[in-house]
Amino acid sequence: MIKVRHSEERGHANHGWLDSHHTFSFGHYYDQRFMGFGPLRVINEDRVHPGQGFAPHGHRDMEIISYVISGALEHKDSIGTGSVIRPGEVQRMSAGTGIRHSEYNHSRGEKVHFLQIWIEPAKEGLKPSYEQKFFDPKKRQNALKLIGSPDGAEGSVTIHQDVKLYGGLLEAGASVTHATTPDRLIWVQVVHGTVTVEGKTLKAGDGAALEDMDEVTVAAQANAEFLLFDITAAH
């Protein structure tokens, strides 16, 4: 079974310095049909103007993943981490018992475009932590590369939940197939380009929820970048 979440149907907030689209209910945007998908709680597509950003603010008991599409995102937090995240890099911050952080556009000349992803952890009260890794685009070309997992397998960032996150880059006409089991949930999020998933065409910003599947095939109609989440249904 597949259900498509079209880009243009997402929640939208434009604050001038920030243009944000919400796949699931977030902030002032509420839709009881889209409260999350298993422990996957937030996928926000954000564009932040040069020199602007999110002032220091707090989180707790959430796994927060930043995936930069273009530009550079500067991060600072209350556990002493400071870094700049660029395309090809994935940041995972575990808020745990509580953390404060800020996120700013590192550039004075171009917008930063990124996905902010929130996943509810399997256990509350974790020690706050941070991780950032680079994933070579060549290893994601016409393939699925594991970039997030519960145990940090294959050099992925560690997500404190039964979720595996894959990144893929497909050339037009190429496809990849992900084996799963019917008791798992699958979410596909298109970053750019156009793909077909189970007979449905998805474009940039679209997402698809899949349930009761043995495998999922993503085929590119045009050069495409996407994320695939393999998620526990026990939540």
Considering the domain architecture, whether residues 128 and 154 belong to the same structural domain is answered as no
Residue 7: strand, helix, or coil: helix
Check the CA dihedral 184-190-193-199 and report its sign: positive
Residues 16, 96 within the same domain: yes
Q: Is residue 79 part of a domain?
A: yes
161-188: average pLDDT: 97
pLDDT at 234: 76
pLDDT at residue 53 is higher than 90 = no
- Mean of pLDDT values over 154-165: 98
Same-domain pairing of 76 and 99: yes
3-state helix, strand, coil in the chain (%, to 5): 5, 60, 35
pLDDT reading at 37 higher than 90: yes
Is 119 in the same domain as 157?
A: no
Final residue belonging to a domain, choices 135, 157, 176: 135
Q: How many domains does the chain have?
A: 2
Say whether both 80 and 157 belong to one domain.
no
CATH of the domain at 171: 2.60.120.10
User: Would you say residue 3 lies in a domain?
Assistant: no
Is residue 150 in some structural domain? yes
End of a domain among 81, 109, 135?
135
Picking from 224, 189, 231, 205, the residue whose alpha carbon sits closest to that of residue 6 is 205
In this structure, the answer to whether residues 178 and 194 fall within a common structural domain is yes
In sequence order, what are the beta bridge partners of 123?
A: none
pLDDT at 151: 96
Q: Are residues 167 and 100 in the same domain?
A: no
CA dihedral 5, 68, 80, 162 (to 10 degrees): 40
Alpha-carbon distances, residue 223 vs 32, 45, 191 (angstroms) = 34, 20, 11
Both 127 and 216 in one domain: the answer is no
Asked if residue 89 belongs to a domain, the reply is yes
Do 148 and 228 reside in the same domain of the chain? yes
On whether both 41 and 143 belong to a single domain, the answer is: no
Q: What is the pLDDT of residue 235?
A: 64
Is the Cβ–Cβ distance between 89 and 135 less than 8 Å? yes
Q: Is residue 202 part of a domain?
A: yes
Quick: pLDDT tens for 91-143: 999 999 998 988 989 988 899 999 999 999 999 999 999 999 999 998 899 99
Percent of the chain residues topping a pLDDT of 70: 100
In a domain, 5, yes or no: no
Asked whether residue 142 falls in the same domain as residue 184, the answer is: yes
90 lies in some domain = yes
DSSP one-letter string for 115-143: EEEEE--SSSSPPPEEEEEE--GGGTBTS
For the chain, the average pLDDT equals: 95
Decide which of 135, 162, 180 is a domain's last residue: 135
**What's the domain range around 86?**
11-135
In a domain, 4, yes or no: no
Residues 153 and 83 in one domain: no
